[in-house]
Amino acid sequence: MLEFQARLRHGAFALDVQGELPARGRSVIFGPSGAGKSTLLRLIAGLERGAQARIAYGDELWQDDARRLFVPPHRRCVGLVFQHPVFLPGCRVEQVLRYGWRRRGRSVRAFDFGSIIERFGLGPLLIRNVHTLSGGECQRVALVRALLAAPRLLLLDEPFSGVDEEARAVLLQELDDLQADLGLPMLYVTHAARETVSFADHLLLLEAGQVRALGAMHALATDVSLPLARRPDAAVAITTEFVRHDPQDGVSCLSFADGELWVSESRPRETGRPRRVLVNARDVSLAREAPHGTSILNVLPAFVVELAELPDAAVVVSLRIGATPLLARVSRRSARELELQPGSRVYAQIKGVALLNH
Amino acid sequence: MQLDWSPLILSLVLAAVTTGLLLVLGIPLAWWLVRRKTLVRHAVTAFVMLPLALPPTVLGFYLLLALGPHGPLGALAERWSGASFAFTFTGLVMASMVYSLPLVVQPLAAGFERLDMRHLETASVLGAGPWDRWVSVTLPLLRADLLTGAVLGFIHTFGEFGVVLMVGGDIPGRTRVLSLAIYDHVQSLEYHQADLMSAVAVGMSFTALLLLYLAQRRR
C-alpha cells in the first residue's frame, strides 16, 4: 500500500488529499492541468517540502511531518521520470545511465546493466552525447536511468506528453511489458484520458487539489457521474488474449473474460502477452434484438448498468458484458426509442475496424 | 643591470594563495547569498561588493587599522604570536581576500542562480546524498563559473597596488609585490626595469583572460 495524506499551499493553490493506492500494478493520477498531480507525485518522492504530510509505503514510513519524520529522496528508493528530463551537459548516455546504477542499482541486482540496455534498444545510443538525443530518446534514457537505480516504486510525471503519438504508443507498450515482467509498481501522472484508460489498473482522479475519486480503473472509467465516462472520447480497455488470425480476411480473434472480439489487422500482433484493446464509447452502438446480416463483426449481449444524459443531446450508457464493463455513447433519441433503463438487455455492436489501433 | 624578479614570484604566490582561499570561502558564501531570500541577503551582497567601489587606499587604510596592533584582528594575532598582521605576508593575503572577494563571489552567485534544481532533484531520487550531489552535480555544473571566479580573483589580486601598499608596506622580499616594485623603479627613474616588469604583468594578465574566454567559448 502507498498511503498518503497531505496538505500543502503554494500561493493560491492548495492541495489537500488523502488516500491509498495498492503497491502493485499500474496506478494513474488523472486530472486537468493544475489539479496538483505533479505536486502529489513530488511529495511522494520527497521533493516537495513545506507540506503537512504523512506518506507510508509498504511497512516503511517515509514522512510524517507531525512527528518531524522525513526520509530524504535518496533513501526512498523510488524512480522518477520527469516530463522534461534533465541530463548533466556534456555527458554521454552511458554516464547518465550509470549514475543511479552505480549508487543503488548494482547492489540490488534486479537485472543486469546489459540486459536492460538491450531490452530498451539503447546500445547504439550509449556513446552519444546527451544533447544530441531526440525527444523520444531523452524519455527512453530517462526511463532506463530510473529503472537502473532499482526503484521499488516508479513515478512517472507525464513522461511521454512531449513525444509524438507513435513513439508514445511504443513507450507505453514497453512500460506495460516491463510492468508485466518485473511487477514493478508504477504511479503515472497524466492529463490524457486515453492514456489513462489504456494504461491504468487503479485510478486517482484529482481535481483542484482534491481527490474526486479513487479506485479500480474499470469502475471509475465507466462511472457515468465521473468526467472520464462523459468525455466525447470516452473509452474502456478490455484485456484480451490472442486466439487466432485469419490471414484471408485480415482479422484476429481475441478472447476476453466474457467473450471474443474480432479485430481488423492485416498481420497478427501476437506477443504472447495480454493485450489491451481500447473500445471507444462512440464506436459502440446498441440494439434491442440480435441483428442479422450486419457488417459489424462484434455483437455482444450486454445489460445496462446505468446511463446519464450529456449536454450535447447524447447519452452515455454503462454496460456489462458478463462482468466486463463497456461504455456506449448514443443519441438521446436512440436511448428513448430503445427505452434504455438500468437492467435493460441489449446487444452491443462494435465494428472490427474501430478496434484497428490498440 | 641586475633585475630582481622576487617581486614577481611573491605576486604569483600571493595571488595563488588568495584565490585558493577565496574559492573555499566564496562557494558557501555565494550559495548562502542565492538561497537566502530575505533582506539580509542584499545587505550582505552590498557589503561583499563594497571593495569594488571603494578607492583601494580607503580599503587599505581600514584594513591596516583592523590588521595592525590596535585593530581587532591584529591585536588577536599579537596576543597569539607576538606580532600583528600589519606589514606581513599573512596580512597581505587577508587584505587581498577582502579586495578580490567580489570578483570571485559574483560569478559563483550567478552560477548558483542559474542552477536548474531539477538536476539536483534527479540526482537525489537516483540515490545521491547531499555531499554526493555537491561533488557529482553542483560542482560540474558550476565549472565555468568556478573558472571565471578563479581567474578574475587571481589577476585582480596580481594587479592590486593601493591595498598592498597600505597593508604590506613595501618590504623587500616579504611584501614587495610586482606592482610595488614597478612603482619603486619608476620613482628611481629606472624606466627600463619598470618597462620589463610591466610588460610581464601585461602579458600574463592578457594570457590568463584570453584562456578564460577561450575556455568559456568552448562550452
B125, A145: Cβ pair inside 8 Å?
Answer: no
Residue in A164, A232, A158 with CA at minimum distance from that of residue A196: A158
State the nearest Cα–Cα gap between B126 and chain A, in angstroms.
Answer: 5
- CATH code of the domain in which B18 resides: 1.10.3720.10
In this prediction, residue B21 carries a pLDDT of: 96
Query: Which chain B residues touch A if contact means CB-CB below 8 Å?
Result: 116, 118-119, 121-129, 132, 136-137, 140-141
Note the pLDDT tens digit of each residue in A68-78.
999 999 999 99
Q: What share of chain A is helix, strand, coil (3-state, %, to 5)?
A: 30, 35, 35
Q: Who among A47, A88, A89 is closest to B121 (CB)?
A: A47
Residues in B closer than 8 angstroms to A74, CB to CB, are 124-129, 132
Is the pLDDT at A358 greater than 50? The verdict is: no
Residue in A35, A70, A37, A34 with CA at minimum distance from that of residue A51: A70
User: Do the beta carbons of residue A351 and residue A263 sit within 8 Å?
Assistant: no
Residue in A144, A111, A147 with CA at minimum distance from that of residue A126: A144
- The angle formed by the CA atoms of residues A127, A131 and A134, to the nearest 5 degrees, is 90
Residues in B closer than 8 angstroms to A99, CB to CB, are 123, 126, 128, 136
User: Do the beta carbons of residue A281 and residue A229 sit within 8 Å?
Assistant: yes
In this prediction, residue A109 carries a pLDDT of: 64
ipTM, 2 decimals? 0.85
Q: What is the DSSP string of B173-187?
A: TTT--HHHHHHHHHH
Residues in chain A: 358
Q: Does residue B1 lie within any of the structural domains?
A: no
Q: Fold for A2-223, please state it.
A: Rossmann fold (3.40.50)
Q: Does residue B57 lie within any of the structural domains?
A: yes
Residue in A254, A268, A306, A261 with CA at minimum distance from that of residue A283: A261
Which CATH code is given to the segment(s) A235-355?
Answer: 2.40.50.100
Residue span of the structural domain in which B23 resides: 6-218
Residue in A350, A348, A311 with CA at minimum distance from that of residue A231: A311
Per-residue pLDDT of chain B (219 residues; tens, 9 = 90+): 577 888 999 999 999 999 999 999 999 999 999 887 788 888 888 999 999 999 988 999 999 888 888 888 888 888 888 778 888 888 899 999 999 999 999 999 999 999 999 999 999 999 999 999 999 999 999 999 999 999 999 999 998 998 998 888 888 888 899 999 999 999 999 999 999 999 999 999 999 999 998 988 765
Tell me the three cell numbers of residue A227: 468526467
Is the pLDDT at A46 greater than 60? The verdict is: yes
**Any idea which of A10-24, A104-118, B114-128, B199-213 has the lowest mean pLDDT?**
A104-118
pTM of the model: 0.83
Q: Does residue B131 lie within any of the structural domains?
A: yes
In this prediction, residue B219 carries a pLDDT of: 53
Residues in A closer than 8 angstroms to B132, CB to CB, are 74, 103
Residues in A closer than 8 angstroms to B122, CB to CB, are 80, 82, 85-86
Note the pLDDT tens digit of each residue in B154-210.
999 998 998 998 888 888 888 899 999 999 999 999 999 999 999 999 999 999 999
In this prediction, residue B171 carries a pLDDT of: 86
B128, A74: Cβ pair inside 8 Å?
Answer: yes
Residue A218: is it exposed, middle or buried by C-beta count within 10 angstroms (0-12/13-18/19+)? Answer: buried
Mean pLDDT, rounded, for A200-207: 93
Total number of domains in chain B: 1
Residues B174, B10: Cα–Cα separation, whole Å:
8
Residues in B closer than 8 angstroms to A47, CB to CB, are 121, 124-125
Q: What is the DSSP string of A9-30?
A: EETTEEEEEEEEE-SSSEEEEE
Q: Who among B121, B127, B140 is closest to A104 (CB)?
A: B127
